[in-house]
Structure 1
Amino acid sequence: MTGRQPSDVALEDARHRLTWAELEERTNAVGHGTEAMGLAPGDHVAVVVGNRTEFIEVLLGVQRAGMVVTPLKTSWTPSEIAVVLGDAKSKLVVTDVEAARLAAAEHGIPVVDVDSLDVDSLDGWLAGQDHGPLPADRRGWRMSYTSGTTGRPKGVVHPWSGQSPFSEAFERSSGWAEAARLPGDGIHLMASQLFHGAPLTFGLAALARGAPMRIMRRWDPSEFLRHVNAGVASTTLVPTMFRHLLALP
């Protein structure tokens, strides 16, 4: 992964902090772990995880292995999640949400549970995996689903997805971050839910440019300002968030 120094912080939330070297190892382990479970390049992995470092680790690791990652809303019901799992033909679910556990069970899909304390936990799963590099030519990508307001949720794949190896595409997104004036020498604060497409895209581009990512567990305008006052170089907000900030005393 990109980074000024392997020992510099790359990714953090209120509970975890990863250096660039650790992020490299853990994303490799995610990729090797999916292969060990029998998944192959092109298979789909659903990620139903709240705002935490593990979301980014899994998202990047799955794509580095050449697979398709589908982030889903953590607020969806089991039946809503089950519809998408069936449509995407998901082969694995990574989650910290009970609704996703139930939906996966309905389809007979294996689950890696981020919050579990047993061997099926994410940390337990990663501990037994190879942490070495994955093949550099793997062409993984991200597929998002619409909210389903006009019917059933629909999978959306960008036309350029999978056209080049993921590692190359990720590094190239640093140029897009530079064009969008996202700095690479300060913290990018993730204040939105990670499953939302635009904030995630901006955040990953900033990460590719070398900016460490700090993840808020949930949106809180007062907490957001505390982060900003402590030092934040960039973020992505929607109009509702600005209204919340302006309403503060």
Structure 2
Amino acid sequence: MHPYLHAQENPDKPAIIMAGTGEVETFAELDQASNRFAHLYRSEGLQIGDTVAVFLDNHPGFFDIIWGAQRSGLYYVAIPSRLTAAEASYILSDSGATMVISSDTKLAVLDELLNLNPDVTQYVYGADDDRALEPALAAMSDTPIADQRHGTDMLYSSGTTGRPKGVRIPFPENEDIGQPNALVAIAQGAFGFTPGCTYLSPAPLYHAAPLRWCMTVHKLGGTTIIMEKFDPEQALGLIEKYQVNVSQWVPTHFNRMLKLPEEVRAKYDVSSLKSAVHAAAPCPVPVKEKMIDWWGPVIMEYYAGSEGNGFTYISAPDWLAHKGSVGKALLGTVRICDEDDNEVAAGEEGQIYFEGGSPFSYHNDPEKTKAASNSHGWTSLGDVGKVDEDGFLYLTDRKSFMIISGGVNIYPQEIENLLVTHDKVADAAVIGAPDEDMGEKVVAVVQPMDMANATPEFAQELEAHLRQTLSGVKVPRQIDFRSELPREATGKLYKRLLRDEYWGKTGSKIV
């Protein structure tokens, strides 16, 4: 069901609750606000198939904008809120957006954007100039526009390995704004989301998963609790306060909650949780084991991308029987291929492809679109993995992150997963750095829980920790310490920035 139907049937039910302020928006208010945005888009000349951009932190009006675009037949682009003007300008230009909506917290960046993209109309929450959004919305009707049509997102990759790629998915042939979609079916059938559920969203809304899962909950008539910024103890408190029963996480969230003192974790009742879904990066096996021990068999995992070309799923019981797996395909068929596009046997590593998934293209980049497919027409997100005899998929790492040292292929994820299980490690990244003899050497960049531990002695302790499990070729030849790693709030690591630094490249930027 579309949120407007819930507004008719249950108008006073909260659709959105902001975690920090407690601000509530009901389904009736969400419906009215999204209608006003739809009229605003039409008044500015945006027609079916056009593009609007959202450049916001986790703001109370975020979904007013998005649902307004969804019912106006627009593509809506969520720009990561921490980008510079130059980086945001690239996405505006590449996507063809003719309007961007933001807030007064970003006025300095918006002023630069106005110079870089003078033809893109700006509307700004809290502005005191002609960009002010509130008076413009107040002048609009809160009833539906005459030409409602189903729109959809156009999301950009997080740019961990280069410039972000815009994923443009064709509009559904059915124009009905309330038509069902695959994610609603997956949420109910696999993850146990129920009508009227209460969902905690701890991640930035501009990312694909939080955006799409929150909209799915709205379609189910449920309430979304939106954290303005993730805090591990606050997340536990919100689960208890609102009796949250469904949620979505990344492994970094799990790791940070597990690093809380035991007495802090024990303070909060999380027994209301029926489904704690995680994705975005491989979860270290010990971390997931501890989460299942703590929260019970409610930890569920999937593997997918903004491209929507495939989707795998695994429940907690299946994971305990296939530790480290991301499950079996619910959308598409998993194929593991070698460099010549030949499918490999069970247990052998290769590039992960999906056969029969949804079609997609990278906007304005036919070469990247072509590179995402192999000779069979199967599509890939660029990850490497294997399938076991039972058909369960395991991720090894990004193909582009692979280190070749002395002719041996080394995947950093395995080393990173071991490092973060150490009690004194908050975060870790492993990269390949230049080496005269070996071509590349393995380097670990570690964020300690306490920077007082950033010593040669601790580096030796970590090396000994790794040697208990890893072969010598995988043990880092160099361990460096940082107070913080360049990790996106969605949990993705900007490993390219670290790699460029060690390879002496300059001018590298997060885009």
TM-score by length of 2: 0.46
Distance 1:243 1:151, change over 3 A: closer
- Quick check: 1:58 aligned with 2:85? no
- Paired with 2:182 and 2:165, the residues of 1 have a C-alpha distance of 28
Instruction: Determine the structure 1 residue equivalent to 2:494.
Output: none
Give 3-state SS (helix, strand or coil) of 1:111's partner: strand
- Paired with 2:225 and 2:126, the residues of 1 have a C-alpha distance of 20
Give 3-state SS (helix, strand or coil) of 2:249's partner: coil
Shift of 1:208: 0.6
- Paired with 1:32 and 1:73, the residues of 2 have a C-alpha distance of 25
| More relative contact order, 1 or 2 (CA 8 Å, 6+ apart) | 1
Preserved CA contact (<8 Å) 2:197 2:220: no
Shift of 1:205: 0.8
What amino acid is aligned across from residue 75 of structure 1 in structure 2? R
Across the aligned residues of Structure 1 and Structure 2, the Cα RMSD in angstroms comes to 2.1
- Paired with 1:140 and 1:185, the residues of 2 have a C-alpha distance of 24
Distance 1:117 1:8, change over 3 A: farther
Give aligned pairs, total: 248
- Paired with 2:22 and 2:138, the residues of 1 have a C-alpha distance of 19
Q: Tell me which protein shows more helix as a share of its residues.
A: 1
Instruction: Determine the structure 2 residue equivalent to 1:103.
Output: 113
Distance 1:113 1:137, change over 3 A: closer
- Paired with 1:170 and 1:115, the residues of 2 have a C-alpha distance of 35
- Quick check: 1:202 aligned with 2:213? yes
Preserved CA contact (<8 Å) 2:89 2:113: yes
Instruction: Determine the structure 2 residue equivalent to 1:157.
Output: 168
Map 1:73-88; keep pairs closer than 5 Å.
73-88=80-95
Instruction: Determine the structure 2 residue equivalent to 1:145.
Output: 156
Shift of 1:15: 5.6
What amino acid is aligned across from residue 28 of structure 2 in structure 1? A
- Paired with 2:150 and 2:221, the residues of 1 have a C-alpha distance of 22
Q: Deviations over 1:17-53 (max 9, x none)?
A: 2111111110010010011112211111110111122
- Paired with 1:175 and 1:138, the residues of 2 have a C-alpha distance of 21
- Paired with 1:116 and 1:211, the residues of 2 have a C-alpha distance of 32
Map 1:176-215; keep pairs closer than 5 Å.
176-179=186-189, 180-215=191-226
Distance 1:147 1:100, change over 3 A: farther
- Paired with 1:171 and 1:117, the residues of 2 have a C-alpha distance of 40
Shift of 1:67: 1.1
Preserved CA contact (<8 Å) 2:72 2:148: no
Distance 1:174 1:151, change over 3 A: closer
Overall identity of the aligned pairs, in %: 27
Instruction: Determine the structure 2 residue equivalent to 1:92.
Output: 99
Give 3-state SS (helix, strand or coil) of 1:53's partner: coil
Shift of 1:101: 4.5
Shift of 1:102: 2.3
Q: Deviations over 1:75-112 (max 9, x none)?
A: 11111111111111110000122424422441111111
- Paired with 2:100 and 2:131, the residues of 1 have a C-alpha distance of 12
Report the more deviating stretch, 69-78 or 176-185: 176-185
- Paired with 2:35 and 2:14, the residues of 1 have a C-alpha distance of 18
Give 3-state SS (helix, strand or coil) of 1:65's partner: coil
What amino acid is aligned across from residue 194 of structure 1 in structure 2? L
- Paired with 1:172 and 1:126, the residues of 2 have a C-alpha distance of 33
- Quick check: 1:67 aligned with 2:71? no
Q: Tell me which protein shows more strand as a share of its residues.
A: 2
Preserved CA contact (<8 Å) 2:197 2:217: no
Q: Deviations over 1:133-175 (max 9, x none)?
A: 134651311100112334322210235x343326223677543
Instruction: Determine the structure 2 residue equivalent to 1:169.
Output: 179
- Quick check: 1:46 aligned with 2:56? no
Report the more deviating stretch, 193-202 or 94-103: 94-103
The structure with the larger Rg is 2
Shift of 1:239: 0.3
TM-score by length of 1: 0.91
Distance 1:119 1:100, change over 3 A: closer
